[in-house]
Amino acid sequence: MKKTLYHTALYMGLAVLAMVFLLPVLWMVATSLKNPVDDTSLALPSKPVWGNYAEAWRTGGFSAAFFNTMFIGIGAVVISILAGLPMAYSFARYRVRGRGALSGSLFALRILPEMVFLLPLYAMYRKLGLFDTKIGMILAFQIITLPYCVWLLRSFILQVPVDLEEAARVDGCSEWLVLWRVTLPVIAPGVVASSVLSFIAVWTSLLFPLALSYSQSQTVSVTIANFKGYGTFNWPIMAAASVIATIPQILFFGLINRYLVAGLTMGGVKE
């Protein structure tokens, strides 16, 4: 009897918490299906207006920004993995002089406020003609994604038993082959997780595209932010755009659910 009561109390607590965190999201989805003249507060939409999604997609360059962000995100992740994987391997396996200082400063980058990089980059980009270009954005995002990938990949590599690599070395594999043929297949899920987490970092970033792009390389975040600046304050369209922008993130999160804690702590604590 006492046990049932205790369990009921726990369920009640969980249900309240779940409501607090879920209701705003559900409200957004409901709002995205309303007419602009509908009651904005709590009522459900009288009749779902799916056209809001089509209109959001067409408004304010949203569709172009969507594909821009995909392109920039994938570009940034590819470079970060290609450059970051060997560095992570080196940090995990070799006694390279200055390694501690180097990996320490990569971590320190996580602490620095974005504006420290963005102001000098802005001046540089204006002079070099990289301002408002996709390649400029891809390069700038390395500031976030490269250290992130190196730290995450390193923590995945450290979990691979060294014996496996030693065996390959005894069989005459070169160091490149050991990394390519032995370590990489074992940490493949880690590579996927690092890529997805880095992509999400690009997808959600606001300050980088705000500072370094204008129209040609604008991303989803900036477009969403700009919706609020348009004359007609159209809640359903804003909500619809927000939902579209969030869908890729939800799909990706589903993919790497297992590695979320590693992602949030840059591999700092082990599950």
Partner 1 sequence: MAAHSTPKWFRSLICPGYVFIMPAIIITAGLILYPLLNGLIVSLHQWNWVSSGMNYMPFIGARNYVRLVHDPYFWNSLRHTFYFALGALVIEFGLGMLGARLLNAGLRGALLFRTALMFPLMVSDIVAAVAWKMLLNPSMGPINTILAGLHLGKPNWLGNPALVVPALSIVDAWWQTGNLTLILLAGLQTIPREPMEMAKVDGANSIQLFRHLVWPHLIPFAKTAVAFRVIDLLRVFALPWGITGGGPGRASEMAQLYIYAQGMGRYLDIGYSTSLAITFAIIVGVSVLVLFGRPHGEG
- What part of residues 68-97 is at the interface with partner 1 (CB under 8 A)? 79, 82-84, 86-87, 89-96
Verify binding: residue 50, partner 1, rule CB under 8 A: no
Lay out the site mask for partner 1 across 169-188 (x = CB under 8 A, - = otherwise). Answer: ------xx--x---------
Supply the minimum distance, in Å, between the C-beta of residue 97 and partner 1: 8
Q: Checking phi first, is residue 34 left (phi over 0); if not, alpha (psi -120 to 50) or beta?
A: beta
Verify binding: residue 112, partner 1, rule CB under 8 A: yes
- What part of residues 208-227 is at the interface with partner 1 (CB under 8 A)? 210-211, 221, 224-225, 227
- Give the DSSP per-residue string, 15-54: HHHHHHHHHHHHHHHHHTTS-TTS--SSPPPSS--THHHH
Verify binding: residue 143, partner 1, rule CB under 8 A: yes
Largest Cα–Cα separation, the chain: 74
Verify binding: residue 250, partner 1, rule CB under 8 A: yes
Supply the minimum distance, in Å, between the C-beta of residue 163 and partner 1: 18
Residues 6+ apart with CB under 8 A from 88: 149, 150, 151, 152, 153, 154, 156, 157
Supply the minimum distance, in Å, between the C-beta of residue 200 and partner 1: 8
Verify binding: residue 162, partner 1, rule CB under 8 A: no
Verify binding: residue 207, partner 1, rule CB under 8 A: yes
Q: Checking phi first, is residue 61 left (phi over 0); if not, alpha (psi -120 to 50) or beta?
A: left
Looking at the Cβ atoms of 70 and 79, the one nearer to partner 1 is 79
Verify binding: residue 268, partner 1, rule CB under 8 A: yes
Cα 244 versus chain centre, distance: 16
For residue 167, give the nearest of 154, 156, 153, 183 by alpha carbon.
183
Which span sits near partner 1 by CB under 8 A: 47-55, 58-66, 139-147, 163-171? 139-147
